[in-house]
Amino acid sequence: MFGLCLALLTAIGWKVADLQVLNNDVLQREGDARSTRNEAIIATRGNIVDRHGEPLALSTPVLSLWMNPQEVLENPEQSRLLLDVFAELELEPSQWLERIRDNADREFMYLKRRMPPAEAEAILDRGIKGLYGQEEYKRFYPMGEAGVHLVGLTDNDEIGQEGLELAYEDWLKGTPGSRRVVKDRIGRLVRDLGVMTAAVPGNELVLSIDSRLQYLAYKALKEAVTLRRAKAGTATVLDARSGEVLAMVSQPSWNPNNRASRNESGLVNRAMIDLLEPGSTVKTFTVTAALESGKFDTSSIIETSPGYVVVDRRVLKDPVNYGPSSLARIIAKSSQVGASKIGLEIGHDAMLDVLKRVGFGENIGTGFPGEVAGMLPVHARWSRGETASLAYGYGFQVTPLQLAQAYLVYANRGLRKPISLLKVDGPVEGYRVVDQSIASAVVGMLEGVVSKEMGGTGVRANIPSYRVAGKSGTTWLYVPGRGYDNRNYISHFAGFAPVENPRVVVVVSIQQPQGEEVGGGQVAAPVFSQIAAGAMRILDVPPPAVVLADVQALPAPLLDNELPETLPVETATEEDVVQ
């Protein structure tokens, strides 16, 4: 008996020595593995703000509920509590019970992500075994549908997916940290052992956007698209001095704070991605090329009688016979015949040269995902019809932002400046692409477009008390594989104000407006006026003293019944040839 007790004590002593001495390190590691954890410290994503520091995208703290299926299944007595939680979260009970059983070999599955902390905490306080909370952040977009096309959005893990959120992912994302903690068997925190690596938050991104102008432009565009029953539209506002984008909006849209309403067409930033034929807005550059050629000057007269011209068996016609016309009258009236004759006289090379210099056919370089460079025509041999089409804005494609960049050249009297989506500090230097005297002469002609006295096509772009320069354009819709649809149009207006010291360049494009009015001067020009007038107020641009003194002499808005009976036609088919 004594021997048996001695043997038992020896065995116990040996086991104690084995646990405390020989295998202490191994057992310590095993124990730590079950109770000590390295937990990630979430790094906050950087905010996106406008030029005045107003938030456009920010991350707010939320709680995500997750479950340990193994632990839940080990406690069937709490099934009633789980069913109540499912009902409260509007989750189908039978489906979730099946999911829990299907994941019985796992220790982690999300129940519901990114909940308001108070709501999630109320559920966690019920003490359901196997149900836990995880701190996360949710991206919130204060501008909603007015900013989504530019700002973009992130996914559930706050990784940039669209727009500037994607373009500046590396700048905005933070670097997670870690901390050492001790937890009990059901995952509750017992002790915090301290931070091992500190989290580094993401960087703030300061855009050139002015939130006030963004809202104004979006409201004006949405109202016009709705009123005209149009398919889509876009408006861009540039700072004429710096080339910064002050506003960039598109229609249709959707609210990124409500992911259930997502639609892909509502994500398209049409100012940088849509390729459109610019139509008569290009006559500005055609006249520039004419003046540069030396074959024309500001006093030149072009005979447009009898109101049409046949080129390669196609008829190009004006609404009425404008007869002998100066370059200024051709711009103001948007004469197809005059532009075609100018183009045929100076040739395609002279026009292409100007188009390239103002930025068409090349990437603007904003870094925006999917930004396209447009397309200038390259023909081994140019027909007369192709040359004439180039003169009035057909046969090549540009983005609305490229059109705004091109008109920025005239706002700066021939200087080309870079476009920026980020706030720019200090003056921006440009480089000359058009002679100052020629650019100034063309600007004077663009004023005639909005002049009632000149009978211009863009009088609805007028702003009371301010001088405006710009050009309307109306093109037939081009359908790839089918050609031109002469029943659907794209309406443009591009311009700037005030003329004597431009502060903003505004381009509006509206696709497929419906109704009797479809011309750029009818559909897009009023939107330009609304946006530009609002910009004058927001940017605190005072009217010129000379205009204030003669405010009563300003032309009244053109009435509907004063419009030409026939809209300017950009091109025509063989059937239109006058016999």
What is the rounded CA–CA span in Å between residue 243 and residue 424? 9
- Alpha carbon of 547 to those of 282, 499, 551, 552, 555: distances in Å? 29, 12, 6, 9, 12
Based on the number of CB atoms within 10 Å of its own CB, is 258 exposed (0-12), middle (13-18) or buried (19 or more)? exposed
Check if the beta carbon of residue 335 is closer than 8 Å to that of residue 325: yes
Residues forming a β-bridge with 67:
109, 131
CA distance 248 to 233: 11
Cβ atoms of 304 and 344 closer than 8 Å: no
48 contacts 167 by C-beta, under 8 angstroms: no
Amino acid residing at 268: V
Cα–Cα distances (Å) from 47 to 2, 151, 189, 207, 532, in that order, read 78, 11, 31, 11, 29
465 classed as catalytic? no
Neighbours of 141 (CB within 10 A): 22
- The catalytically annotated residue of 211, 280, 334, 509 is 280
Tokens of 544: 């010129």
Hey, is 16 helix, strand or coil?
A: helix
Exposure of 390 in the CB half-sphere (CA atoms within 13 A): 29
Give a three-class secondary structure readout of 367-418: CCCCCCCCECCCCCCCCHHHHHHHHCCCCCEECHHHHHHHHHHHHCCCEECC
Residues forming beta bridges with residue 309, ordered by sequence position? 316
The Cα–Cα gap between 508 and 401 comes to 10
How many whole angstroms separate alpha carbon 280 and alpha carbon 570?
Answer: 8
Grouping H, G, I as helix, E, B as strand and the rest as coil, residue 263 is coil
Q: Hey, CA dihedral for 424, 427, 432, 435, is it positive or negative?
A: positive
In degrees and rounded to multiples of 5, residue 541 shows phi and psi of -95, 115
Active site residues: 280
